[in-house]
Amino acid sequence: MHTSLSHWSCTDLSHCLHTSVLLIIARSLPELLCHLYLSISLPVRFVRSLWRKRHHQDLAVDFEDEDDIFDSIRRSYQGVHVMKLFKPSKDEPQQPHGLKDKIISIFKGIYHKVVYSRLEGFRYSTRMLSVSVVSFILIYQVYVVFLVAILALVDIVFDLLVIVGDATEDDLQWVVGLLFYVFYSVYSKTLLLGLYKGDNGHLTPKEEKSNSTLLVGSMRYAGYQVAYVAWGYFIQFLILFIVAIVLAVIIILVINGFHGWLVTILHNLWPVLLSSLVVNITQKIVCTFAFLQQNGEVLAIDNRRVFFVVVYFMFFYNIFLGLVSCLLRIIKAMVLGALFLPRLDHSTLPRKFQWFDPGFDSFCGFMHVENAHTHPVVLTFISLVQAEIIEKKRLVRNNSLEGVENGTMMMKPKRPINTVARFQWKLAYTLIKNPQLFIQRKDAMMQIFKQREIEADVDDRNIRIEILGAKINIRKRTASGNSDIYDNKGVRNQTPVSKAEKSKPKLKSKAKSEMKELKDMMLGLTESF
């Protein structure tokens, strides 16, 4: 007995030690893999950077062959994308007419939705891959923590946690989380390809937000995504745990003979469920073949009187269906909101209230910024410009080397380049080809401002001239009215001199000065024109 007890203790102890070692390795596995990757990747990149510094040219697109840069641009993903744009568009597939064609088209649609279609040359951005790796490590670490926490209770509540075979709800949540993130990555690629074409999809259009808001959303994206994955894993774990407990309790009660209540519930509910299903299917069939023209191909009502009679009688029945439908709507919203919580590409709010969702807002900002900086057309254009410069430098260098080898290289004085003249020539050519740019030049704007100032100055001077002319006329009338009276012989009458007569020389001198000022103003106005 003592021997058997000792053997059992040693076996249990060795099993515990083996389990502890496995758990330690499992918990440290992401760190070990990351350190291994850095230990190999950093030296390789360091050597490649030293080699690239002397022998490699950087372009905006991804290329491999340095000897033929233009061919590399053509074979890159961006170049292939641009070449596809120049090809004539394919004809739209015709609508299937027969039942066989419709079934085949349905299966093709399901196949294209389920099976991943690889796009040659497409690469996810570094930020998206980094977020994916960090999220995967987070889910893995949380899974290991949950596994360690429930390991001691597995023998006690194992039967209650079983869902399918030997898989627990934690295992199911692990699989669900990974599948959702795979679908999220594929859908992000689809949205980015749509943005390349100018299709926003269900994203918020770029015009509705400022550039700073989009950039802030792009900055928040990585942190928000990891945090939402953590919360989504926790909430989904709770939901699946509750569902597993409920299913386990129901199965255990049925196995132990407590199934009367379940039979009663199903007996009371099946007529309602069956009638609702039959009514919905009947409405669909009747609307397709009886109330729509051309068997539903055209949205035009046929048999209008019968249609309104059916609508009247179905009104009361649809009220009761609506009560059940409202409850189902609430349940669907809760389930889908919990399942899609880790995915930032789907907002849990309606279209008009998506700006209340900070996670979806950050995803929209990230996608728009990604589209602006990774657009294949832009990168191809920049690469072509860079390739032209590289080829010109390479051609000059090769010609110089050939001349040195053949002995025909002569030191010629470098011809001075008049950069100002070249700039003026290019400027003149640009203005001739684009006359609308002439108005926006600085000299033209200054000339317009100067012309406006001259016009304002002319108006001011005209007003002053009119005022001076009016004053001169008034003073002339006053001077003529108070002039001296002479007789026929030209002898001045000896009449008493009034104050007006005494001020006559002053008025004349003032009038002369004002006339002189008026002439000066007219002369200045003429010179200004």
pLDDT digits (tens, 9 = 90+) for 116-144: 666 666 777 778 888 888 888 888 887 77
Q: Please give the Cα distance from 69 to 428 (Å, whole number).
A: 34
Backbone angles phi, psi at 375, to 5 degrees: -65, 125
| Cβ atoms 60, 77 nearer than 8 A | no
Structure confidence at residue 445 (pLDDT): 62
| Cβ atoms 144, 27 nearer than 8 A | yes
> What are 6-50's pLDDT values in tens digits?
443 444 445 555 566 677 777 788 888 888 888 998 888 888 777
Structure confidence at residue 161 (pLDDT): 43
The mean per-residue pLDDT over the stretch 141-169 comes to: 57
Residue 498 above 50 pLDDT? no
Which among 375, 396, 374, 390 is positioned nearest to 70, based on CA atoms?
390
DSSP string, 300-335: -B-SHHHHHHHHHHHHHHHHHHHHHHHHHHHHHHHH
Structure confidence at residue 35 (pLDDT): 86
Q: Is the dihedral of CA 433, 437, 439, 442 positive or negative?
A: negative
Supply angle C-alpha 243, 244, 247, rounded to 5: 85
Burial class (CB in 10 A: 0-12, 13-18, 19+), 57: middle
| Cβ atoms 233, 177 nearer than 8 A | yes
> What are 201-251's pLDDT values in tens digits?
777 777 778 888 888 888 888 888 888 888 888 888 888 888 888 888 888
Beta bridge partners of 486: 492
Structure confidence at residue 10 (pLDDT): 43
57 is written with which tokens? Answer: 């040219």
Q: Please give the Cα distance from 191 to 204 (Å, whole number).
A: 12
Structure confidence at residue 406 (pLDDT): 54
The mean per-residue pLDDT over the stretch 142-154 comes to: 68
Q: Please give the Cα distance from 490 to 497 (Å, whole number).
A: 18
Q: Please give the Cα distance from 91 to 224 (Å, whole number).
A: 42
